[in-house]
Amino acid sequence: MLRVYNAPVSTSDPVIQTRGLTKRFGRLTAVDSLDFHVQAGTTYGLLGPNGSGKTTLIRLLLGIVPPTSGEAYVLGRRIPNREVCSQIGYMPQAIALYEDLTVRENVRFYAHLMGAFSQAQVDEVIKLVDLADRVSDLVSTLSGGLKRRASLACALVHRPKLLFLDEPTVGVDPQLRVQFWDHFKALNGQGVTILVSTHVMDEAERCDRLGLLQNGRLLAEGSAEELKRQTTRTTLEDAFLHYANGMATS
Ligand SMILES: Nc1ncnc2c1ncn2[C@@H]1O[C@H](COP(=O)(O)OP(=O)(O)OP(=O)(O)O)[C@@H](O)[C@H]1O
Ligand SMILES: [Mg+2]
């Protein structure tokens, strides 16, 4: 049930819930009357072609852009809400790091910003993304994949309850990608909720629930197994092509 007041939520309440959430940019409807929810301690994967509304949806849930209509509730609060920010980690699709600061300085900065500075947490998260040997390097001198690792460190450093990860593994090498996902699943085990967008099907397989967006609408929703079963396809990629092509491939 949607909460319409700022009271703490019980663990059974969805961590994210939207009702008729819509965002228009001029004549373009990027997110179209979206109703969906994400349960605590799970990973929800957003899939969909370029321009289908994944990033816009995440930005709406963060309160970075206002909806045209409809509403979103995150961690029991109607968005926008400043108080929930410190409980949220966000790894944007476009890397937002200070190029003229070192890796360590960037992570410290985000930790301070979230009101949770602890050297142990900074060290832990830098180790997690395997950047300990580059910690004193300026971000401007890092490769694209290394910058993404630093960006993930910034998103995780304050131990958020809810993580928004917008294509977190683009440009990250396969070995580290597996480590990232192992960590995401470990975070779920600690009760952390994750909303992640991806174009990578083996990552989608690791999500508890998937939503396929097209033109800002949810075409299909369910676990990877459910979506494959419903479409009688053996791979998730084929299942999504089936939905995206309007069931024309059956
Ligand atoms: N600030 C903006 N002004 C105008 N149009 C926008 C703006 N932000 C997004 N859009 C448009 O909204 C649509 C959805 O964009 P969005 O970035 O949410 O897609 P996406 O699913 O994240 O795509 P990708 O897989 O390429 O990252 C696109 O047509 C995009 O051009
Ligand atoms: Mg995007």
Binned average pLDDT, 10 residues per bin, the chain of 250 residues: 39 88 98 97 97 98 97 96 92 94 96 86 93 97 94 95 95 89 94 97 96 95 95 91 70
Report how far ligand 1's centroid is from the alpha carbon of 127 (Å).
33
| Pocket of ligand 1 contains residue 28 by CB under 6 Å | yes
Ligand in nearest proximity to the CA of 50: 1
Give residue 93 CA to ligand 2 midpoint distance, Å: 6
CA dist 41 → 12, 85, 152 (Å) = 10, 18, 19
Q: Pick the residue whose CA is nearest to atom 4 on ligand 1.
A: 25
pLDDT at residue 247, as a whole number: 52
Is the shortest distance between the CB of 214 and ligand 1 below 6 Å? no
What pLDDT, on the 0 to 100 scale, is given for residue 196? Answer: 98
- Rounded to two decimals, what is the model's pTM? 0.92
Is-contact 224 45, C-beta < 8 A?
no
Q: Among 69, 64, 66, 57, which Cα is nearest to 20's?
A: 69
Nearest to 107 by CA among 94, 115, 97, 99: 97
**Structure confidence at residue 28 (pLDDT):** 98
Residue located nearest, by CA, to atom 8 of ligand 1: 56
- What pLDDT shows up at residue 21? 98
What are the residue ranges spanned by the domains of the chain? 16-244
DSSP three-state, residue 90 = strand
> How far from the centroid of its chain's Cα atoms is residue 43's Cα?
9
CATH superfamily name and code, 16-244: P-loop containing nucleotide triphosphate hydrolases (3.40.50.300)
- Å from CA of 54 to ligand 2 middle: 5
- Residue 215 CA to ligand 1 center (angstroms) comes to 10
Provide DSSP, 19-40: EEEEEEETTEEEEEEE--EE-T
The answer, yes or no, to whether any atom of ligand 1 lies below 6 A from the CB of 215, is no
User: Residue 114 has what pLDDT?
Assistant: 87
Asked if residue 48 has its Cβ within 6 Å of ligand 1, the reply is yes
Write out the H or E segment, with its range, that includes residue 15. none
- Minimum-distance ligand to the CA of 48? 1
Q: Calculate how far, in angstroms, residue 50's C-alpha sits from the geometric centre of ligand 2.
A: 7
